């Protein structure tokens, strides 16, 4: 059986640099197969459950299309469709789903839920986002960086905004594992927590990545090959939006901040969805109230040539396909790659 067979994908720290690099490279390979219309049905006949406690456009679509391309059948189970958590425990649900499905995706609140699903389900479980981590997003993001720059080691990625949300946590530790320098620009109360920073520092000491956590947005972006931001309030957060907006406005990705990287070729990423214009109901209300045109990223930067946000979104499907194929498919993967 291959190196990944039967494993779950719950958080990045469970994987080595060689393993994450393999997943990224295999995603790039699968993208090329799809472009050439070469079939890759590594999961023919398998059934996959897609559990969503929180809403999603990209992750749900990516899992659905990736499963279909791999020859598997995906089944969406939304939070109101099943008893999960309300009338039935996570463990019981996991046992039932694991007896019928070959793999389970979960998006929701607690990291413990996804790890319990893996513990009791007996089949591979994939984390489609929790409050703590967004690991499938990382394979797509670092894949996008690799496509753009050719290699990862030594690149500098700056994340500005809410520096202690799931995406920031994941970028910090994944960069640290892969040898990508990660800068986080965020106000002190929104910087990575001590346990996350501790993990990242350990990983960085092994890979040679340099980490910088600062409340100075200009210092954070200096020398960055890539700028990254995310929404200022994440799903499930109960915070005062107005206070958060005032606090994070200095960390908005706009042309001014982009120029301060000092590099002409810096690219811009965002996991999406983004408040870059007034064309959403929530966004337009907030922007109106604060007399702003955009929140975490301005529309001109979002639409600019330097922005790779839609390539990044498209790569979610190839990344998720890579993860599902190797953990559930019987592929030949030489063990020597991971010595």
Distance CA 95, CA 97 (A): 6
* Total residues in contact with ligand CP, by rule CB under 6 A: 8
Among 39, 57, 83, 255, binds ligand CP (CB under 6 A): 57
Q: Is 96 in the site for ligand CP (CB under 6 A)?
A: no
Tokens of 139: 């394979």
Q: Which of 134, 270, 276, 318 is catalytic?
A: 134
Nearest alpha-carbon partner for 2 in 336, 331, 337, 301: 331
Q: Is 271 in the site for ligand NVA (CB under 6 A)?
A: yes
Q: Is 58 in the site for ligand CP (CB under 6 A)?
A: yes
From residue 200, how far is each of 11, 134, 182 by CA, in Å?
13, 15, 10
Q: Which residue, 274 or 326, is less far from ligand NVA as judged by CB?
A: 274
Q: Which stretch binds ligand NVA (CB under 6 A): 32-40, 175-183, 217-225, 229-237?
A: 229-237
Among 33, 272, 292, 333, binds ligand CP (CB under 6 A): 272
Q: Is 137 in the site for ligand CP (CB under 6 A)?
A: yes
52-88 in b/e form (b: 16+ CB < 10 A) is bbbebebbbebbbbbbebbebebeebeeeebebeeee
From residue 68, how far is each of 1, 41, 58, 118 by CA, in Å?
23, 9, 15, 23
Among 230, 287, 322, 329, binds ligand NVA (CB under 6 A): 230
Residue 122 C-beta: closest distance to ligand CP, Å? 26
Q: Is 244 a catalytic residue?
A: no
Q: Which residue, 157 or 271, is less far from ligand CP as judged by CB?
A: 271
Q: Is 73 a catalytic residue?
A: no
Q: Is 238 a catalytic residue?
A: no
Kindly state the helix (H) or strand (E) to which residue 18 belongs, with its residue range. helix 17-35
Q: Which residue, 58 or 318, is less far from ligand CP as judged by CB?
A: 58
Distance CA 198, CA 173 (A): 10
> Which of ligand NVA, ligand CP, none interacts with 231 (beta carbon under 5 to 8 A by kind)?
ligand NVA
Which residues from 73-132 bind ligand NVA, rule CB under 6 A?
Answer: 129
Nearest alpha-carbon partner for 174 in 313, 338, 16, 31: 16
Q: Is 280 in the site for ligand CP (CB under 6 A)?
A: no
Tokens of 209: 């990545």
Among 181, 191, 229, 234, binds ligand NVA (CB under 6 A): 234
Q: Is 293 a catalytic residue?
A: no
From residue 183, how far is each of 5, 10, 176, 248 by CA, in Å?
34, 24, 11, 16
Residue 231 C-beta: closest distance to ligand CP, Å? 10
Tokens of 219: 């210092």
- Specify whether the backbone of 45 is left (phi greater than 0), alpha (psi in -120 to 50) or beta: left
- CA atoms within 13 A of residue 23's CA, in its CB half-sphere: 32
> Which of ligand CP, ligand NVA, none interacts with 144 (beta carbon under 5 to 8 A by kind)?
none
Q: Is 231 in the site for ligand NVA (CB under 6 A)?
A: yes
Strand extents, DSSP E, the chain: 47-52, 73-78, 103-107, 125-127, 156-160, 181-185, 211-214, 226-229, 267-270
Which residues from 196-215 bind ligand CP, rule CB under 6 A?
Answer: none
3-state secondary structure at position 44: coil
Residue 248 C-beta: closest distance to ligand NVA, Å? 13
Q: Is 276 in the site for ligand CP (CB under 6 A)?
A: no
* Active-site annotation, residues: 107, 134, 137, 230, 271, 316
Interface contacts to ligand CP, rule CB under 6 A: 56-59, 129, 137, 271-272
Residues contributing to the site for ligand NVA (CB under 6 A): 129, 165-167, 230-231, 234-235, 271
């Amino acid at each position: 059986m291959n190196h990944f067979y039967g494993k779950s994908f719950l958080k990045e720290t469970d994987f080595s640099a060689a393993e994450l690099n393999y997943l990224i490279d295999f995603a790039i390979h699968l993208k090329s197969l799809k472009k050439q219309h070469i079939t890759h049905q590594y999961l023919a006949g398998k059934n996959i459950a897609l559990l969503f406690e929180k809403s999603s456009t990209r992750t749900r679509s990516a899992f659905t299309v990736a499963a279909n391309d791999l020859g598997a059948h995906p089944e969406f189970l939304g939070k109101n469709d099943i008893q999960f958590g309300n009338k039935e425990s996570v463990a019981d649900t996991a046992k039932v789903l694991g007896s019928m499905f070959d793999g389970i995706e979960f998006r929701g609140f607690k990291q413990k839920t996804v790890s319990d699903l893996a513990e009791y389900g007996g089949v591979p479980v994939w984390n489609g986002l929790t409050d703590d981590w967004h690991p499938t997003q990382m394979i797509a993001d670092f894949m996008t960086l690799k496509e753009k720059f050719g290699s990862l080691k030594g690149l500098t990625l700056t994340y500005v905004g809410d520096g202690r949300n799931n995406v920031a946590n994941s970028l910090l530790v994944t960069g640290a594992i892969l040898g990508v320098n990660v800068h986080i620009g965020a106000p002190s109360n929104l910087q990575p927590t001590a346990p996350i920073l501790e993990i990242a520092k350990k990983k960085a000491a092994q890979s040679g990545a340099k980490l910088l956590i600062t409340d100075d947005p200009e210092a954070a972006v200096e020398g960055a090959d890539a700028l990254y931001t995310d929404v200022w309030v994440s799903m499930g957060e109960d915070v005062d939006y107005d206070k958060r907006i005032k606090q994070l406005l200095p960390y908005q990705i706009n042309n001014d901040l982009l120029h301060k990287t000092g590099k002409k070729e810096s690219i811009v990423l965002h996991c999406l969805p983004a408040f870059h214009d007034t064309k959403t109901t929530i966004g337009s209300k907030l922007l109106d109230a604060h007399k702003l045109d955009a929140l975490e990223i301005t529309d001109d930067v979002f639409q600019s040539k330097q922005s790779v946000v839609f390539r990044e979104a498209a790569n979610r499907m190839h990344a998720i396909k890579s993860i599902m194929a190797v953990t559930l498919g019987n592929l030949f993967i030489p063990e020597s790659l991971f010595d």
